[in-house]
């Protein structure tokens, strides 16, 4: 029964983060990743149901959201193109680098989320010091790896992966020095899950494109990253030693709440609801070029964000200690807004040309009915370096097998890139999917 509940709880978190990360596909960058990471963090708190964690939900969720959001700086469009190649070395390189990029997403997100859980009065996390260390680590690694050594992953695109790697190393050293073994365990498993999910998602995307099925297989890849990242996040959390449930003193959480419901959403709106994008989307869906309609979508979305944000702040400003019911209400309300904005920016509310948008609603309903049924027990397990290295090696071997299968499934296809050797001459015979500039 304990094992079943563990797997069941992992599935709920995986579906939540997977769906949120698929929604993030419409928005991209740090803000979209932060919102999705916040949804995954909230789902984890709700499946575990520890009162001391729920009481500080907004602080913990903001830490997790910012961690997942940091990875949004990285460029991966060309790396996805390598995975579409027709020779094993380039495809294996592409999938392996996606394992690194997805791993950094998960490690930073899981690590900061774990530190948020570990943060107590007796053993407080020194956040300002951690931020300085991670900033310095990012700068140092980028300077040496990219500027000095020239270790470019995706030339001529941005090489900010090196910044994220430096931040991950600094975060690791901070957790080791502070003896935050549980947070480190969450980071490791989130990283393994996110890395595998990104590589496996690219593999699914390639197979989907070659199948000529009319579907957004880029979104399948995004769902895969979030799904497996969520599995790792939940597993790391439920198998770490957090000690006994503690009494939580009352504490105002208005600042992290404002960050979650206003700052991140408004930045996302400003970066995505531009006039040109809205017009180019809806001019294909409406019978006439309706400027008033475009303005309605743009300003209606920000009014929706502001109104709901103000509602959450007004509702929770007096709640110094949160409980399960309140956090659950916030989780589904905040997630519903994310889905609504996705429908608005894609035009899915007036056209069915984006079928995957409606699958978000299916996942939302499923999670709504399942989340109350999770009753997992935290079962601490040891963290061994050899086991971690072995698991990473197994994943890389499996990625090598996926690369071989992908190569044998097609010839040159649209969007394929080469890191090694000459660029391929591509005959555009498949039009069901298009690589985005991310």
DSSP string, 89-152: HHHHHHHHHHHHHHHHHHHHHHHHHHHHHH--SSS---HHHHHHHHHHHHHHHHIIIIIIS---
**Cα 222-224-226 angle, rounded to 5 deg:** 75
C-beta separation of 35 from 265 below 8 A: yes
CA–CA dist 89, 101 (Å, integer): 18
Which residues lie closer than 8 Å to 153 by C-beta, 6 or more apart? 79, 97, 100, 159, 161
Q: Which domain holds residue 291?
A: 2-125+180-408
Q: Positive or negative, the Cα torsion across 177, 178, 182, 188?
A: negative
- Residue 320 covered by a domain: yes
What's the pLDDT score for residue 152?
93
**Does residue 31 form part of some domain?**
yes
Q: Taking the mean position of all CA atoms in its chain, how far away is CA 57?
A: 18
Whether residue 348 lies inside any domain: the answer is yes
Task: Show Cβ contacts of residue 346 under 8 Å, excluding neighbours closer than 6 positions.
Answer: 26, 281, 354, 357
Residue 32 lies in a domain: yes
Q: Is residue 257 assigned to a domain?
A: yes
Q: At which residue do the structure tokens 């310095």 appear?
A: 136
Closest C-alpha among 263, 259, 261, 280 to residue 271 = 263
Place of tokens 């984890």: 44
Q: pTM of the predicted model, to two decimals?
A: 0.93
Q: Which pLDDT score is estimated for 428?
A: 43
Distance in angstroms (rounded) separating the CA atoms of residues 12 and 17: 9
Sequence-distant (≥ 6) Cβ neighbours of residue 41 within 8 angstroms: 60, 61, 63, 64, 65, 68, 109, 113, 233
> 340 in a domain, yes or no?
yes
Please count the other Cβ atoms lying within 10 Å of the Cβ belonging to residue 117.
Answer: 26
Rounded distance, CA 218 to CA 230, Å? 19
Question: Quick check: is 171 in a domain?
Answer: no
| Integer angstrom CA distances of residue 249 from 31, 55, 61, 252, 329 | 31, 9, 18, 10, 22
Tell me, yes or no, whether 153 lies in a domain: no
Residue 59 makes CB contacts below 8 A (sequence gap 6+) with: 116, 119, 253, 256
Tally of structural domains, the chain: 1
CB atoms near residue 110 (< 10 Å): 34
**Residue 249: its pLDDT value, please?**
61
Our CA angle for 302, 253, 16, nearest 5°, is 60
Q: What is the pLDDT of residue 114?
A: 97
Nearest to 235 by CA among 187, 171, 180: 187
Q: What is the residue-level pLDDT of the chain in tens, covering all 438 positions?
A: 578 999 999 999 999 999 999 999 999 889 999 999 999 999 999 999 999 999 999 999 999 999 999 999 999 989 999 999 889 999 999 999 999 999 999 999 999 999 999 998 888 999 999 999 999 999 999 999 999 999 999 888 999 999 999 999 999 999 999 999 999 999 999 999 999 999 999 999 999 988 888 888 999 999 999 999 999 999 999 999 998 887 766 677 899 999 999 999 999 999 999 999 999 999 989 988 888 999 999 999 999 999 999 999 999 987 667 889 999 999 999 999 999 999 999 999 999 999 999 999 999 999 999 999 999 999 998 877 777 788 888 989 999 999 999 999 888 788 888 888 766 554 443 333 433 334
C-beta of residue 116 within 8 angstroms of C-beta of residue 40: no
Q: Are 97 and 82 spatial neighbours (Cβ–Cβ below 8 Å)?
A: yes
> For residue 190, what are its two tokens?
């989130």
Backbone φ/ψ region at 28: left (φ over 0), alpha (ψ -120 to 50), beta: left
């Amino acid at each position: 029964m304990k094992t079943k509940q563990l797997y069941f709880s992992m599935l709920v978190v995986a579906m939540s983060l997977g769906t949120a990360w698929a929604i993030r596909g419409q928005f991209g960058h740090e803000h979209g990743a932060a919102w999705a990471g916040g949804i995954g963090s909230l789902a984890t708190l709700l499946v575990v149901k520890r009162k001391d964690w729920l009481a500080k939900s907004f602080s913990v969720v903001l830490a997790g959201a910012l961690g997942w959001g940091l990875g949004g700086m990285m460029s991966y469009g060309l790396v996805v193109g390598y995975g579409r190649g027709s020779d094993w070395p380039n495809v294996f390189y592409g999938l392996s680098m996606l394992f690194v990029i997805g791993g950094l997403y998960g490690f930073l997100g899981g690590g900061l989320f774990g530190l948020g859980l570990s943060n107590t009065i007796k053993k407080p996390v020194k956040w300002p010091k951690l931020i300085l260390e991670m900033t310095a680590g990012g700068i140092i690694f980028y300077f040496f790896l990219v500027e000095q050594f020239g270790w470019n992953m995706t030339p001529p695109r941005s090489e900010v992966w090196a910044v994220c790697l430096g931040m991950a190393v600094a975060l690791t050293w901070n957790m080791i020095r502070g003896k935050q073994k549980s947070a480190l365990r969450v980071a490791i498993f989130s990283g393994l899950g996110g890395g595998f999910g990104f590589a496996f998602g690219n593999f699914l995307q390639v197979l989907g494109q070659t199948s000529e099925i009319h579907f957004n297989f880029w979104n399948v890849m995004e769902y895969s990253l979030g799904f497996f990242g969520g599995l790792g996040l939940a597993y790391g959390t439920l198998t770490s030693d957090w000690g006994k449930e503690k009494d939580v003193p009352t504490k105002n959480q208005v600042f992290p709440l404002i960050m979650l419901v206003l700052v991140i959403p408004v930045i996302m709106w400003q970066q995505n609801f531009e006039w040109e994008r809205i017009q180019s989307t809806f001019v294909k869906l409406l019978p006439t070029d309706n400027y008033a309609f475009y303005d309605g979508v743009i300003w209606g979305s920000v009014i929706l964000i502001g109104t709901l944000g103000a509602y959450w702040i007004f509702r929770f400003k007096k709640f110094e200690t949160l409980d399960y019911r309140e956090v659950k209400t916030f989780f589904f309300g905040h997630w519903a807004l994310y889905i609504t904005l996705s429908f608005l920016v894609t035009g899915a509310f007036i056209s069915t040309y984006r079928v995957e948008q409606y699958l978000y609603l299916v996942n939302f309903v499923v999670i709504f009915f399942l989340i109350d049924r999770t009753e997992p027990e935290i079962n601490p397990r040891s963290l061994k370096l050899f086991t971690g290295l072995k698991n990473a090696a197994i994943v890389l071997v499996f990625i090598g097998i996926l690369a071989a299968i992908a190569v044998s499934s097609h010839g040159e296809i649209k969007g394929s890139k080469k890191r090694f050797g000459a660029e391929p001459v591509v005959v555009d015979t498949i039009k069901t999917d298009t690589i985005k500039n991310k």
